[in-house]
Amino acid sequence: MHFAIPVLSLTIWLPIIGGLAVLASGDKAPNISRWVALSFSVLAFLVSLLLWTGFDASTAQMQFVERAPWIPSFNAWYHLGVDGISMPLIILTTFITILVLISGWEVISYKPSQYMAAFLIMEGVMVGVFSALDAILFYVFWEAMLIPMFIIIGVWGGPKRVYATIKFFLYTFFGSVFMLVALIYMYFKSGSYSILDFQALPLSLTEQIWIFLAFLAAFAVKVPMWPVHTWLPDAHVEAPTGGSVILAAIMLKIGGYGFLRFSLPITPDASATLDWLVIAMSLIAVVYIGFVALVQQDMKKLIAYSSIAHMGFVTLGFFIAFSIFARAGATGGVVMGMEGGMVQMVSHGFVSAAMFLCVGVLYDRLHSREISTYGGVIHTMPVFGALMVFFAMANAGLPGTSGFVGEFMVILASFQADFWYAFLAATTLILGAAYTLWMVKRVVYGPVTSEKVAGLQDANGRELLVLGILAVAVLALGLWPAPLVEVMDASIQNLVQHLAVSKLAVAPAAVAVLP
Amino acid sequence: MENLYLTIVLAPLVGSIIAGFLGSRIGRVGAHSVTILGVGLSTGLSLYVLKGFVDGTLSAFDGPVYTWMISGGISFEIGFLVDKLTALMMAVVTFVSLMVHIYTIGYMADDEHNWPQESLAGRNAYQRFFSYISLFTFSMLMLVMSNNFLQLFFGWEAVGLVSYLLIGFWTVRESAIFANLKAFLVNRVGDFGFILGIGAIAMYFNSMDYQEVFAAAPALAHTQVQIWGDSSWSLMTVICVLLFIGAMGKSAQVPLHIWLPDSMEGPTPISALIHAATMVTAGIFMVARMSPLYELSETALSFVMVIGATTAFFMGLVGLVQNDIKRVVAYSTLSQLGYMVAALGASAYAAGIFHLMTHAFFKALLFLAAGSVIIAMHHDQDIRNMGGLRKYMPITWITFLLGSLALIGFPGFSGFFSKDAIIEAVHLSQVGGAGYASVLLTLGVFVTALYSFRLYFIVFHGKERMDDHTRHHLHETPAVVWVPLVLLAIPSVFIGWMTMESVLFGDWFKGVIHVAPEHDVLGQIGAHFHGQTNFVLHGMMAPPFWLAMGGLALAWYIYMMKPVIADYAMVRFSRTYRILEGKYGFDQFNMAVFAGGSRALGKLFWVTGDQGLIDGILINGSAQGVGRIAQRLRGIQTGYLYHYAIAMILGLVALLTIFVTF
């Protein structure tokens, strides 16, 4: 599809340019910086909507493609494009960024323009990750993401922010180095850095397994999957509210996206061989982390753990594919599992963002994230309390909210893979409700427990605006997920067909070409 | 037709939204007017639909409203199936809901006393309450009118949500917010099974639509599945048992019954509407709706029957030792739900639904009458402080008596027909466990009469045990409260007589509920049916009638003539008493094993797993390891030239040695 304007480039560079401008302007007129930042993010969102309106949902081809030479000596290209998998995630990114900027409006008084700038730059970089079709470009965006987030946590974070930032940085960097090696290896085999070429590249099973593991190291840390998840609770606890929102709503999705864009299509046979590993890690995330979340005393930690459990559904939905192929031979369940994982990612973007924002609202008032500080908040903040209960219900996967859709699809699909997968996954109905609603009981309900709670003011207009928009999004996706599922259907179908064909059969012919 | 059904569903939702979001603006009168208008409209139209089915002017409707999503070859729709079963449920749900709406005007009139003065949540609590009960009506209608499993699950969980919100309505009370969390979680345990059942249906039928699933079911009747090792199970048994686990949660069957008594923490109108008449009967409705599936698995039917009969008898016993007026009625509800479930297990689905209907009227009546007593007693619910109330509140007294007679199955009252039909059906049933169920259900009649009339005599007769202040203020409740009682008393008395023939033995459920010929116990009873009068006369010669009379007489003797007997029995059978008082220990067990166990497990995983193994050893350990090695290596970098020179010389010697020797 050809568009008069380079939509993807605009979506990437508008916020980055805006961010640099805000950064340059300094803190002399913080209000102007805020408005400028907001305008840029709204503009980027509007531009990104063109991706939705101009999207052709009937094809799995890359759309809005831009391709220009970048580093000729490496054969690296400035190559962008989206399909039904990346497009919803890009819009999620531009949408959430606006809310984050509004939520930090007057709360951040320390270096506000730098704060706004960090998020704008972060936005552009994340859109870059989702739209890059060249592996080097992808890798540059991927690593570049770490910098703004590192600064956001390191500058505006809590008391233990240094430990958290270093842990966060090293963890994710550790994973991505292996990915870089894998990418370079494939460059030497194919002579190209194009991700689409990688997907068509024949690889032996041994090669695939090494590449798969390298990708797994990168993406599992990002998602994060058990057992490489322990950076997330620390990062969330120390991050400012906006940082937590971006982290949970978007950054984690990049791990899930990586599985769909890299692991599965590039190494289908290794994925089929090692699917048990990912499935086991996913189910452990759902069950084990569910129990861990139950005993958290810190609201942000609780939601962070809940994020890990919810992301377990994403990876589970992606990797049950091969068991379903083996058992039923039908692709229906495979498609449902992957679409379920995708819907879960978008939904989690809304719900986790809302939950972190709710904690932020309370934290801004009493400067405590401890559950025990609160109790009876509903009596002083009835509107906020109602919203928090609503989002808690979405987090617990109540039908009618977005939180239900993805979990429902993945549970249904995993039943086709193995009864016990579905059994373990479905425990989230109990565990998710238990940890979320127990927190609600102790924070929102009950008699007013302290003078501090008695003095709370209900959410102000700005906070209500942000939470209200998210509530509408959660409800809309829960009541009518069809539009979202439709745009991704062709791409997912295509991916599933690609997965059903082994790369090994064609390998010998290709080997001859290589040297 | 679709517009009519949409109106029935959406009218309460609109009322709920207006009362909920604009509550402070439209005030109390605005809120209850708009919700009553919405539910009233639904009720009128539902009765019109029911009449249409009775007259034969309406035929079954099955159509989609919109496509929720299409994924993996399955189309997930939102749509309505309105047949005679649905029409009956719609009429019951909306009628009881309307009565409860009206009643609530009186019951919640002084609600501000239940909130701390400064609580902002208490400001619009009255409006919020109306919003919730209208939202409930919407959810329940979505559930019963669904034509597919997705929407069924939506309604199923949505009624659970409203139940959660309403049990914890008085959020200042610790007991209320404990009870609502408990209710939600126990229901989620049921839903856990339910969603797996839906998963099985999606896998084997590749559809969510009832009619498609029912049509394909016979072909899969002999399919075997392997779940654990090599032992194979009938697919239908697996599906039916999983779905029934959901019903056990929602309809409070042993061992998932534990939430219902605690749900009495909610305001009484919702105990009547949600926890007696409608929501808790969703499980019964669901199984009846799924009769084409359940008929294909005798194992599942046995399971259903045994669970139902167990609940019916043993929960009735617990009702004998309760002293809270609402809890007695709550245990009675558990027991009656057990009767309905047992009927389903005997393939007497029509009898289960019939009892559901009669029970909805008389149990809503009993709860609302109990609420009327509670209002008069200034929210004291302990029956030991009551007595002789018949003098002060005659309408409540008479209607409560009528409700109790209907409950114990006094000949001619609605409960008589429905309960007798169940007992006979189970007696005739051939599936496994029918003998056990038959004995328990028959004995249960005695227990029902005993606890019902124990309650009745203690509350309305005998010594006036309340304090003088309360006695001084005792009077009949206002018209908004007693009019619904009267309106509910009418069907409680007559509905059984009026509808029994067509619902149980006629063709009302023909083509809606499917019963295999070899299971058709109601057909066998119907063969000997010669009119209601005959049925009543026949019933008066059967054991259940004499057991009921025996229970009634014993209650009269103990609580009116010789109250010492009760005290003596308490001492003489102290161990039994303690078991009943402790509700068989389910609560302690769950608190210790499930609640305590989960927390312990969470702590273990967190402290040992995350903090100890992963962070302590792997992450920080490797970081410290690197640090420690670096510390050592740093020691070598002394900065002294002669150290480096020595190292160089030693290296040179070593290298030369290697070159020379090899």
- pLDDT at position B549 over 80: yes
Q: What is the mean pLDDT of residues A248-260?
A: 94
CA-nearest of B419, B420, B367 to B396 is B367
What pLDDT, on a 0 to 100 scale, did the predictor assign at position B660? 85
Show the tokens assigned to A165: 């930032």
Q: What is the pLDDT of residues B277-291, one digit of tens each?
A: 999 999 999 999 999
Q: Give the gap in angstroms from C-alpha A271 to the nearest C-alpha of chain B.
A: 21
Mean pLDDT value across chain A: 91
Instruction: Report chain A residues whose CB lies below 8 A from the CB of B601.
Output: 291
Segment A156-199, tens digit of pLDDT: 988 888 888 888 888 888 888 999 999 999 999 988 999 999 99
Task: State the average pLDDT over residues A467-474.
Answer: 96
Q: What values do phi and psi take at B63, rounded to 5?
A: -155, 155
Average pLDDT over residues A212-228: 92
Nearest alpha-carbon partner for A385 in A394, A395, A377, A393: A377
Residue A370 bridge partners (DSSP)? A298
pLDDT band for position B369 (cuts 50, 70, 90)? very high
Helical segments of A444-481, H only: 451-454, 461-479
3-state secondary structure of B322: coil
pLDDT at A1 > cutoff 50: no
Q: Please count the residue pairs, one from chain A and one from chain B, whose beta carbons lie less than 8 angstroms apart.
A: 167
Residues of A in contact with B603 (CB under 8 A): 295
A329 pLDDT band, cuts 50/70/90, is low
A-interface mutation test, from B188, B591, B604, most A Cβ less than 10 A away: B188
What residues of chain A lie within 8 A of the CB of B615, using their CB? 230
* Peptide bond preceding B269 in cis form (omega within 30 of 0): no
Tell me what the pLDDT averaged over chain B comes to. 92
**Rounded Cα–Cα distance for residues A457 and A381 (Å):** 6
Q: Which residue in B91, B93, B64 sits closest to B80, CA to CA?
A: B64
Q: For residue A241, what pLDDT band results from cuts at 50, 70 and 90?
A: very high
Share of chain B above pLDDT 70, in %: 100
pLDDT tens string B601-651: 988 888 888 888 888 888 777 778 888 888 888 877 777 888 888 888 998
Q: What is the DSSP letter of A328?
A: T
Q: Which two tokens stand for residue A417?
A: 């893979």
CA-CA-CA-CA torsion sign (B123, B124, B129, B135):
negative
DSSP assignment of B421-472, as one string?
Answer: HHHHHHHH--STTHHHHHHHHHHHHHHHHHHHHHHHHHHHSS---S-HHHHH
* ipTM at complex level: 0.93
| Interchain proximity A482–B227, CB inside 8 Å | no
pLDDT in tens, B119-144: 898 888 999 999 999 999 999 999 99
Measured between alpha carbons, how far is B563 from B388 in angstroms, rounded to an integer? 15
Residue B117 reports pLDDT greater than 90: no
Rounded to whole angstroms, the Cα distance separating B463 from B519 reads 51
Distance from CA of B240 to the nearest CA of A (A): 15
From the list B127, B35, B103, the residue with the least C-alpha distance to B480 is: B103
Question: For residues B613 and B598, what is the distance between their CA atoms, to the nearest angstrom?
Answer: 20
Shortest Cα–Cα distance, A384 to chain B (Å)? 11
Whether the Cβ atoms of residue B73 and residue B17 lie closer than 8 Å to each other: no
Helix/strand/coil (H/E/C) assignment for every residue in B195-233: HHHHHHHHHHHCCCEHHHHHHHHHHHCCCEEEEECCEEE
pLDDT band at A507 (very low <50, low <70, confident <90, very high): very low
Position with higher pLDDT, B470 vs B152: B152
The partner residue sitting opposite A482, judged by closest CB among B69, B195, B196, is B69
CA distance linking residue B133 with residue B159, whole number of Å:
10
For residues A248 and A506, the model is more confident at A248
Is residue A74 over pLDDT 70? yes
Using a cut of 0.95, tell me whether the model's pTM lies above it.
no
Q: Are strands B74-82 and A63-71 parallel, antiparallel or unpaired?
A: unpaired
Question: Which among A408, A477, A484 is the top mutation candidate for probing chain B, defined by the most B β-carbons within 10 Å of its own β-carbon?
Answer: A408
CB contact at 8 A, B336 and B406: no
Q: Which of A169, A445, A479 to mutate to test binding with chain B, by most B CBs within 10 Å of its CB? A: A445
**CB-nearest partner of B195 from A413, A429, A454:** A429
Q: What is the pLDDT of residue A510?
A: 45
Contacts for A351 with CB less than 8 Å, ≥ 6 apart: A310, A391, A394, A395, A401, A402, A403, A474
Cβ–Cβ gap A294/B599 under 8 Å: yes
Residues of A with CB below 8 A from B605's CB? Answer: 288, 291-292
Min mean pLDDT across A27-41, B233-247, B389-403 is at A27-41
Tell me the average pLDDT across A76-82.
Answer: 93
Query: Quick check: A86 pLDDT over 80?
Result: yes
Residue A505 has pLDDT above 80, yes or no: no
Residue whose token pair is 């004291």: B380
Place of tokens 């995350």: B610
Q: pLDDT, tens digit, for every residue of B436-495?
A: 999 999 999 999 999 999 999 999 998 888 888 888 888 888 999 999 999 999 999 999
Distance CA B279, CA B277 (A): 7
Using alpha carbons, select from B557, B337, B305, B544 the residue that is nearest to residue B432.
B305
C-alpha B404/C-alpha A244 separation (Å) is 58
pLDDT band (50, 70, 90) for residue A506: low
pLDDT in the model for residue A3: 60
* Average pLDDT, integer, range B382-398: 92
Taking every pair of Cα atoms in chain B, the longest distance, rounded to a whole number of angstroms, is 121
Residue linked to tokens 């119907």: B526
| H/E element, B67 | strand B61-71
Query: Among A404, A491, A388, which residue's Cα sits nearest to residue A437?
Result: A388
Residue A56 to chain B, least CA–CA distance (Å): 18
Residue B92, pLDDT > 90, answer yes
Provide the CA B232 distance to its chain's centre, in angstroms. Answer: 32
- A167: which chain B residues are within 8 Å (Cβ-Cβ)? 619
- Predicted pLDDT at A509: 45
By CA distance, what is B178's nearest residue in A?
A: A441
> What SS3 class is residue B640?
coil
Average pLDDT over residues A356-385: 94
Q: What is the CA radius of gyration of chain A?
A: 22
Mark yes or no for CB contact A433/B184 under 8 Å.
yes
Q: Measured between CB atoms, which of A433, A447, A485 is closest to B185? A: A433
Nearest alpha carbon to residue A383 among A452, A435, A478, A461: A461
- Looking at residue A219, its pLDDT comes to 94
pLDDT, residue B566, reads 83
Q: Confidence band (pLDDT; 50, 70, 90) for B294?
A: very high
For residue A370, give the DSSP letter: B
Residue A514 predicted with pLDDT over 70:
no
Mean pLDDT of B191-202: 95
pLDDT given at position A2: 53
Of B177, B614, B619, the CB nearest to A445: B177
Of all residues in chain A, the one with the smallest CA distance to B125 is: A382
Do A381 and B120 make contact, defined as CB atoms within 8 angstroms? yes
Is pLDDT at B181 greater than 80 in this prediction? yes
